[in-house]
Structure 1
Amino acid sequence: MDIAALKAANSISTQAAADGWMALSKESWQAVNDIHANGVDPLKADWKDRVGEVAARKLDEQARILEAGADIMRGVAMVLDALSVAITRAKLTLNSALDLAKAHGLTVDESTGVARDPAATTTPAATSIVQEVNALLREALREATQADRQAAAELRKLGTATCETDPAKALNSLQGEASQVELNMYTDGIPDGKDPRLVADWWNALPDNQRKELMLSDPVTLANLPGIPDDVKLGLRGGPGAKYDRVKMVQWTLDHWNDVSGDMDEDNCTNFASEALHQSGVRFKGWNTLDDDGWFRGGGASGLGSTADSVIPGHTHAWGGAQNMHDFMVAHGGRELTPDQVRPGDLVYYEEDSDQDADDRKGQIHHTAIVTAVTPDGDIRYSQHSGGMKNASLGGRIDTFQEGRGHQKLHYVRVEPDWY
């Protein structure tokens, strides 16, 4: 890609295409729900002979086809979302380079993407400016070219899957890969940090909303990137006086989401979330695992460093139980958030909001996950241990989850310990 091509790239039309594919995905999911509510379920309940069974099965097949299509279309929207953002950021970097070149009387060859000083000034200051402009130009073209190639490859793959009718494959393989490509495109649009001055110039070229989006989509990379202002890095970690390191929590989660070495019970989703908080600096509350108002785990396989058949539990109820942990954290300084307030390092709890699931009663919080990213379109990405997921799309997976378990009420919680 050259400068002329980047100038001509249209992020607005790309975003419009992403919005269109997302609307189609949502309409398809609405059709899936309508087929079940108005066709499959009534047939199963009220028409119990062979004809009714065949009719229900046929309708269910159609619903599965629509479900697969909905998840693939959402994958397309994810990739186009990322491409739109990448074009916008690359053009901002380009414009910053061109403005700097103009301010210092440099000329820029749009076909080669190289800036030169017509006066051939050889002072160190002049040479430094030329190098600075050229670094920005290279970065802008790198960002745009890389995003274009990634998007093209993934869209081709999704385009060849239009006949896929297996919802599980559409969700886990096709949309799942597209969602990871989306996040990779955001991360790959960040300079590598070898030139801190370039990073600083790149960061300064971005408006506040773009900086915020980057901080939400990849806080770990930014917090460790030379050239990012120290106050930004501190804010990513929690700000002055923070009681734990939010970046460290996200990093630990992404490093250990599929690590079973710390498992204590059969279901470890909440144990994992508690461990992530503790690894990032949240202190235990209480001194043993029998503390009714404590948040504590012992050591060793059984939780106390004793034999595995110890009658003493390995952790408090608030450490390992989703409902208990939610209630404990909210009662001890934490607060519930609206979806637009969520950022990496927050927790998401699932509450059963129907009578569909036989294991959990309505109103019971039964699952805990960790927010590890938020994309520019507001999609919350979560990582979890039980049913291991890394940066999974909440928006992309919740419909399938609710189809199997019934409607869920989601609670977003920011942990703010008041016990130390």
Structure 2
Amino acid sequence: MVSYAELISAHPQKWKDAADEWAALAKFALNAANDVREQGAKPLADNWSDEVGTAAAGDFVKLADQLESAYDLLLGVKVVMEGMHTSLELAMSTAHQLTDLARAHDLGLGDDGLPLQCPAPSAGADAQQAYAEIVALRDQALRQANEADRLTKAELSRLTAAVGISDPEKALKEQNTASHTEMEMLAADIPKQDTDPAAVRAWWNGLSEKQRYDLMRAEPVKVAGLDGIPEDAKREMRGTDGKFDRVKMVQYALEHWDKKDPVQFDNNCTNFVSEALDHAGMQHKIDFWEGARGDDTWGNTGGIGIDSIDTRMYYSKTWAGAENQQNFMLKHGGEEVTQSQARPGDIIYYEQQGPNGEIEHGNTHHAAVVTAVMPDGEIKYTQHQDSYQNVSLQGRLPTTEKSEGQQRIRIVRPHPDWY
């Protein structure tokens, strides 16, 4: 258990420094894996085809797999430490806020962070409210610190036990689990839904501008659902143009990532993005004469309940085609943003750059929903086929490029101009 005294004397920057060191180690391991494949395994396989050459190439492949697995595990440690750093900083900001409240209302604090005494009945409503807020903030700060401590200890122990993994696919699953643990820490940093709005407001006011910005990008669904958060902050998360609700888009993706889509296409990644946009309130663009199948449409006109027919006759070409959807969104008010500018509710598109026998160069072939952006800029996305929730773009991209070739990541922010 983390005590209040331990919390206010913590050094969160040490966790950040450690996270940066683990990130550097992960990058080194990945670069080494790529070098072994390109400079060792590939030349041997291309130029030494007898039994000895094949065996030597196989040894290089095993070494590369070990290094790639190390990358995933090291990155898992990095994201857990990032989560601990963020949680400690937020908990300490909450502790500072309750200290300021206590000082403003002449309420002395004990070593446990609680007021030494209740305000007298004659002290007035403001003092009584301040007392209640101090207690709530103290409980919130300790909840954050203890949950972060518990999750960090458990996840680092789990990753330690996974050190011997040399299968990149298994190591990637470990990285995904660590990514989810980081999200659990952030969720614990936010007051519960039934928290008194005044306490929520006091908590929010105690955060720095950057901390508020970080939480709005990392946990928009939880933050927007709290009573006591300023309406302008909620409007920023939902989308200031009012065309569709970005928070509802993220919420749909997070809640339906492992559920069957209402209609099934051969590839459902872009279909899933369209479903999320649809549930977020984006209005359909239907041609008067040709319905959903017109050349400049997005949406559907229902169907007869048979997917093989509905997908060809009642859904637009932009509904489930990644390149068609990307081009349509950019044509109709959307903007392409850099990865550093990404925020929840944006759409990730994968454009083929490297050689691939099945995907033409320059073709956009995959789409996913940005569902979180971490304080350090790491983008987490949610997708269908294959189905993943809140996984790291930076963490998973090397695996994608190993199997499919180099990719250009394009991030598009829709701003529909047809209504």
Please state which band the TM-score falls in when normalised by the shorter chain.
over 0.9
- CA drift at 1:122: 4.9
Aligned to 2:182: 182
- 2:231 maps to amino acid: D
Q: 1:291 aligns with which of 290, 294, 300?
A: 294
Q: How many residues align?
A: 413
- 1:289 maps to amino acid: A
Distance 1:228 1:47, change over 3 A: same
- CA drift at 1:216: 0.3
Unaligned runs of 5+ in 2: none
Aligned to 1:130: 131
- 1:296 maps to amino acid: G
Percent same amino acid at aligned positions? Answer: 40
- CA drift at 1:178: 0.6
Aligned to 1:341: 341
Residue aligned with 1:109, SS: coil
CA distance in 1, matches of 2:144, 2:278: 37
Aligned to 1:419: 418
Residue aligned with 1:371, SS: strand
Residue aligned with 1:413, SS: strand
CA distance in 1, matches of 2:311, 2:45: 47
Residue aligned with 1:73, SS: helix
Aligned to 2:351: 351
Unaligned runs of 5+ in 1: none
Aligned to 1:253: 253
Q: Can you list the C-alpha shifts for 1:97-124, whole angstroms capped at 9, x where unaligned?
A: 11221222222111x3321249856534
So what's the TM-score if we normalise by structure 1?
A: 0.94
Aligned to 1:213: 214
Q: Are 1:264 and 1:314, in contact at CA under 8 Å, matched by a contact in 2?
A: no
- 1:127 maps to amino acid: Q
**2:237 is aligned with 1:236:** yes
CA distance in 2, matches of 1:211, 1:166: 39
Aligned to 2:107: 106
Aligned to 1:395: 394
CA distance in 2, matches of 1:62, 1:305: 51
Q: Can you list the C-alpha shifts for 1:129-188, whole angstroms capped at 9, x where unaligned?
A: 22222221221111111111111111111112111112111111x111110000110011
CA distance in 2, matches of 1:13, 1:306: 57
Q: How does 1:17-416 map to 2 (within 5 A)?
A: 17-110=18-111, 112-117=112-117, 122-125=122-125, 126-172=127-173, 174-193=174-193, 194-239=195-240, 241-287=241-287, 288-300=291-303, 305=305, 308-309=308-309, 313-355=313-355, 357-416=356-415
CA distance in 1, matches of 2:205, 2:261: 43
- CA drift at 1:351: 0.6
CA distance in 1, matches of 2:211, 2:352: 36
CA distance in 1, matches of 2:315, 2:118: 71
Distance 1:201 1:342, change over 3 A: same
CA RMSD in angstroms comes to 1.7
- CA drift at 1:306: 6.7
CA distance in 2, matches of 1:384, 1:295: 20
CA distance in 2, matches of 1:310, 1:221: 36
So what's the TM-score if we normalise by structure 2?
A: 0.95
- CA drift at 1:89: 0.6
- CA drift at 1:236: 1.1
For structure 1, which segment, 248-257 or 119-128, has the greater mean C-alpha deviation from structure 2 after superposition?
Answer: 119-128
- CA drift at 1:45: 0.9
Distance 1:283 1:122, change over 3 A: same
Q: Are 2:264 and 2:307, in contact at CA under 8 Å, matched by a contact in 1?
A: no
Q: Are 2:263 and 2:311, in contact at CA under 8 Å, matched by a contact in 1?
A: no
